């Protein structure tokens, strides 16, 4: 009999490709009211990018050629507090796209793309890209402990979540579409004492 996969020292399915949505009590300024797409979750830990922290820096200013593939807003996003000088690029592929050089699938049509490649070679197969400076990372067991403590809610991602044109609206949008009591969290005030 195969042992159950263990992530962070416990039995848990991989959350790669799923969304982490910060709960209102999470007041860490790096993650308050964020939505994170996990691009990797395995025994050694987890890595993701914050989807709703746009900067004002155009992609075309820092990565020549990639700006024309970037969806609106075509700016670099703050992917997380770790290695802000590093860039991670997410791409959404066209339906039926075959093997794409430098593309590593995260979930469905969404994956990471190697920024050292030629963006012109991707125009036929990629619908849009989003570039993130830095990332969010968790050591083995850390993310599982944070989920258990109630810092994060975990939901399925939709293919367009990482590429929404109004990223500031993503946190309440993801919560609302869950329905029930979870949808009510979307209107939770940032500072309940001011209510």
Which CATH class name applies to 6-190? alpha beta
Residue 137's Cβ-count burial label (10 Å; 0-12, 13-18, 19+) is middle
Distance (Å, whole) CA 15 – CA 66: 29
pLDDT tens column, 157-175: 999 999 999 999 999 999 9
Residues with Cβ within 8 Å of residue 27, at least 6 apart in sequence: none
DSSP assignment string, 145-172: HHHHTTSEEEEEPPTTGGG-S-GGGHHH
Residues with Cβ within 8 Å of residue 41, at least 6 apart in sequence: 7, 14, 15, 16, 47, 143
Structure confidence at residue 195 as a pLDDT band (50, 70, 90): low
Could you tell me the pTM of the whole model?
0.90
Asked if 76 contacts 84 with a C-beta cutoff of 8 angstroms, the reply is no
């Amino acid at each position: 009999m195969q042992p159950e996969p263990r992530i962070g020292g416990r039995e848990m399915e991989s959350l790669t490709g799923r969304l982490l949505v910060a709960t209102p009590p999470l007041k860490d300024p790096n993650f308050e009211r964020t939505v994170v797409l996990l691009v990797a979750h395995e025994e050694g830990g987890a890595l993701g990018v914050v989807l709703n922290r746009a900067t004002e820096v155009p992609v075309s200013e820092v990565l020549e050629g990639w700006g024309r593939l970037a969806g609106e807003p075509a700016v670099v996003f703050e992917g997380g507090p770790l290695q802000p000088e590093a860039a991670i690029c997410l791409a959404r592929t066209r339906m039926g796209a075959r093997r794409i050089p430098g593309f590593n699938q995260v979930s469905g049509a969404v994956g990471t793309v190697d920024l050292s490649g030629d963006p012109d070679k991707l125009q036929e197969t990629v619908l849009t890209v989003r570039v993130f400076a830095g990332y969010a990372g968790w050591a083995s067991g850390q993310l599982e402990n944070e989920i258990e403590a109630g810092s994060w809610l975990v939901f399925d991602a939709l293919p367009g979540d990482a590429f929404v044109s109004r990223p500031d609206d993503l946190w309440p949008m993801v919560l609302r579409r869950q329905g029930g009591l979870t949808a009510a969290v979307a209107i939770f005030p940032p500072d309940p004492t001011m209510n």
